[in-house]
Structure 1
Amino acid sequence: FDRHRADTPLTFLNRHGSLRDAPPELSAVLVHALRMRDTTSGAFDPSVLPLVALLQSRSQRAPEGPAPSLAEIREALSLVDAGAVDLTSSSIRLGRQGMGLTLDGVAKGYIVDRAAQVLRERGLDSHLINAGGDIRAGLAPDAERPWAVAVEDPQRRGRYPSRIFLRNGAVATSGSYEAPLGAHGRLHHIVDPRSGGCPGHVTSVSVAAPSAMEADALATGLFVLPPGQALACIETLPERACLLISSSGAQARSQGWSGLEAAGPR
C-alpha cells in the first residue's frame, strides 16, 4: 500500500500504469476506495495522487513560495479519474499515462481491521486498537461499560469537545492540521479531487463506522465536502456518524454521533 517505497506493488502500478497478479489485499482496498468515491460523490478519490504530488513537490522546492498555478492544477486534474481505473480479479490498469493512485486515506484503516480480525481469531474479542487516530474497538472488558473514545479539538490541544462510546466499531479522524504543506499554512495533504484545492470548511472530521477502513475513507471524503453536504451524506448511511470541528471550535454532529455520545454507562 506504500506509494513512497520503491519495492511495493502500488509503486510498480503507479510507475508502469498496470499491474498483473495484483495482491488480493491491494485489490480489496482499491475496490473499497472506488466504492467510497461513489458514496461521497467524488470527494474521496484514490486517483488524486497527481494533485497531491504537485502540492508536495511545490512545498518542498519553495515552502514560502506561491501555490501552484491554475494551469498546473488543471494539468494535474486531467489525470484524476477513478473511472479510468480498470480492475479485474487479478490485474489493475490505469487508463491514462501519468495517472497514479494513493491509498493513504484508506489503507491504514484496512490494516487496523486486519489486526482486529487476527485478535478475534485468537479468542481476544475484547480489544482496542489505536493506530495513530484510526481506532477499532472490539467487545469491552465490562459489558456495562463500552469503550470511551475522546475527540481532541485540533486548535486547542488538551480540550476534548466530544466523547463517544463504542462496541464492535471504529472511529477515524482527518484534519488539515495533520500534514500542512508550505510555511503559509493554506495548503495541506487533503485535496479536493474535483477542484484541486485544499478544503478549508473545517479543521477536522471524525467518523464512526463499523470498520476502520470505512471510517478512514469517509473522514477524508467528508472533510472535502461542505459541512451541510457532509452531514447530508452521512445521514444516508445507516450505522455511520460524524463530528465536524471548525477552526473557531464550532461543532456540527450527525444524529448518530449524538447517539454515540449518549451511549455510555448510566
Structure 2
Amino acid sequence: MADTFGFEAIGTGWRVDSASPLVSEQRRGLLRIAEEYDVLYSRFRSDSGVTALAASGGALALPPHGAELGRLLRRLHDLTDGAVSPLVGERLAAQGYDASYSFVPTAPPTPARAWDDVLDWSAGGLTLREPALLDVGAAGKGQLVDLLLEYLLAAGHEDVVVDASGDMRRAGTGAITVALEHPYDASSAIGTVRLGSGALCASASNRRVWGDGLHHVLDARTGRCVETVVATWVLAEDAMTADGLCTALFVADPAELARGFDFDYVLMYSDGRARFSAPLSGALFS
C-alpha cells in the first residue's frame, strides 16, 4: 500500500492502508467521524449520548446510520432469543467492566432487562422509558469500520483497508491472506482466510479478561460470561454485520443465524475444537 494512517479511537488502535495517498483533509475526516461516533455511543465517557440516557432515560436523536445499527441489533436479539442485547451494558458494568475500568464486580450476574420493556429504537433515534446503560459493542466497532471505509470510497479511494485491531473491511481487486490469531497465543494462528472486497471481523473472550471467568462477552439472558466459545471469526459483506455475528456466535448456533444472514465463520471452543462453514476460503491448521 502507498500510504498508511494509524490512530487511536473508541479505545482501540486503527490502521488505514490505501493504494493512493491519504491527504491531510481525509485524515482529519477519519478522526472526525470516529469522534462523532464515540460521543454518541461510548458508555466510558461522561459527555456521550449513551451516558446521558443512563442518567435520565429519554430520547437520543441518531444520524441515519443509527437506524441501521438498531435494525441489526434487533435482528440479532430476536435470532438469539434475547442473548444479544444493547441492554447488556449495565450487566457488564456490574461485573466490573464499567466506565472507570474498576474490574471489580459489584453484583452477582442477573439477566439484562427485556428490550420491549425499556427500549424503542426507530429510524429517528432511540428512546429509553427509564434510565438504562446501553452497550452497542456487539456491532458498533464494525459499523465504524464501514463508515470510515465508505468515507474513503466517496473521496475517490479504490484500493483501501480499514482495520480496527482485527475487525477489518477491504475494498479493491484481488484478495489478501489474513491470519486468524490463536486466542491463547497471540504469536501464532489457527489458520488463514482470503479476504477480497468485504469484511472480516473477530472476537475473543480473552481480549478483555479481569478475573476468574470474567470477560466482556455476556449472555444477556443470564448476565453470565460465555464459557463454551472462546473465539469467533466472520466473513461478511460489511463489517457491522460481521462484527454483530461474531458476538452472536458466542450464544447461538450458526445454523440459526444463517436463517437471517449470509456469512462464513470459524468458531473455536474452550476445549480446543474448531468449527467452520463450508466452503471456507482459507485453511485451518491442525
Shorter-chain TM-score tier? 0.7 to 0.9
Q: How does 1:49-64 map to 2 (within 5 A)?
A: 49-56=89-96, 60=102, 62=104
Secondary structure at the counterpart of residue 229 of structure 2: coil
Match of 2:227 among 190, 194, 200: 200
Deviation for aligned residue 1:113 = 0.3
Range with greater deviation from structure 2 (197-206 or 33-42): 33-42
1:6 pairs with one of 35, 38, 46: 46
What amino acid is aligned across from residue 233 of structure 1 in structure 2? E
Distance 1:259 1:47 in 2: 33
Determine the structure 2 residue equivalent to 1:172. 201
- RMSD over aligned Cα, in angstroms? 2.4
CA 1:20 to 1:44, structure 2 compared with 1: closer, same or farther past 3 Å? Answer: closer
The separation in 1 between residues aligned to 2:250 and 2:142, in whole angstroms, is: 17
Question: One-letter code of the match for 1:168?
Answer: S
Distance (whole Å) between structure 1 residues aligned to residue 64 and residue 237 of structure 2 = 22
Quote how far apart the aligned CAs of 1:173 are. Answer: 1.0
CA distance in 1, matches of 2:48, 2:63: 10
Give the AA of the match of 1:86: D
Once residues 55 and 49 of structure 1 are traced to their aligned partners in structure 2, the CA distance between those partners, rounded to angstroms, is 10
1:88-128 deviation line (CA, Å, top 9, x unaligned): 44342223x34321112211111100111112112222112
- C-alpha separation in 2, matches of 1:31 and 1:2: 19
Shift of the 28–234 alpha-carbon distance from structure 1 to 2, 3 Å rule, reads: closer
* Richer in helix (by share): 1
Q: Which residue of 2 aligns with 1:216?
A: 243
Asked if structure 1 preserves the Cα contact closer than 8 Å seen for 2:53 and 2:132, the reply is: no
What is the letter of the counterpart of residue 198 of structure 2?
Answer: G
Quick one: structure 1 residues 61 and 241, their matched pair in 2 at CA, closer, same or farther if it must change by over 3 Å?
Answer: closer
Q: Are 2:61 and 1:32 equivalent residues in the alignment?
A: no
The answer to whether residue 140 in structure 2 is matched with residue 107 in structure 1 is: yes
1:81 alignment partner in structure 2: 114
- Label 1:39 to 1:62 Cα distance change in 2 as closer, same or farther (>3 A): closer
SS at match of 1:157: strand
Deviates more, 1:25-34 or 1:5-14: 25-34
Distance 1:108 1:61 in 2: 22
Aligned partners of 1:246, 1:4: CA distance in 2, in Å? 30
Q: How far 1:49 sits from its partner (Å)?
A: 1.3
Change (3 A) 1:148 1:31: same
TM-score, normalised to structure 1, is 0.81
How far apart are the structure 1 equivalents of 2:258 and 2:66?
A: 29
Letter matched to residue 176 of structure 2: W
Instruction: State the aligned residue count.
Output: 240
Residue ranges of structure 2 left out of the alignment (5+ in a row): 1-40
Q: Displacement, 1:234?
A: 4.2
From 166, 169, 172, the equivalent of 1:133 is 166
Aligned equivalent of 1:160: 189
1:151 and 1:161 in contact (8 A); partners too: yes
Matched, 1:92 2:113: no
Match of 1:239 in 2: 262
Residue in 2 that maps onto 1:252: 275
Task: Name the residue aligned to 2:179.
Answer: 150
The answer to whether the 8 Å contact 1:9/1:19 transfers is no
Query: How far off its partner does 1:202 sit?
Result: 1.9
Counterpart CA distance in 2 for 1:248 and 1:158 is 20
Deviation at 1:236, TM superposition (A): 3.2
Is 1:15 aligned to 2:44, yes or no?
A: no
Identity of aligned residues (%): 27
Q: Determine the structure 1 residue equivalent to 2:83.
A: 43
Provide the secondary structure at the position in 1 that maps to 2:193.
strand
Residue type at the aligned position of 1:109: G
Unaligned runs of 5+ in 1: none
Q: Please give the alpha-carbon distance, in whole angstroms, between the structure 1 residues aligned to 2:46 and 2:84.
A: 25
**Once structures 1 and 2 are overlaid, which stretch shifts more, 18-27 or 124-133?**
18-27
Q: Show CA shifts across 1:138-177 (max 9, x none).
A: 123xx4xx12111011113322222111222111111110
> Aligned match of 1:118 in 151, 158, 161?
151
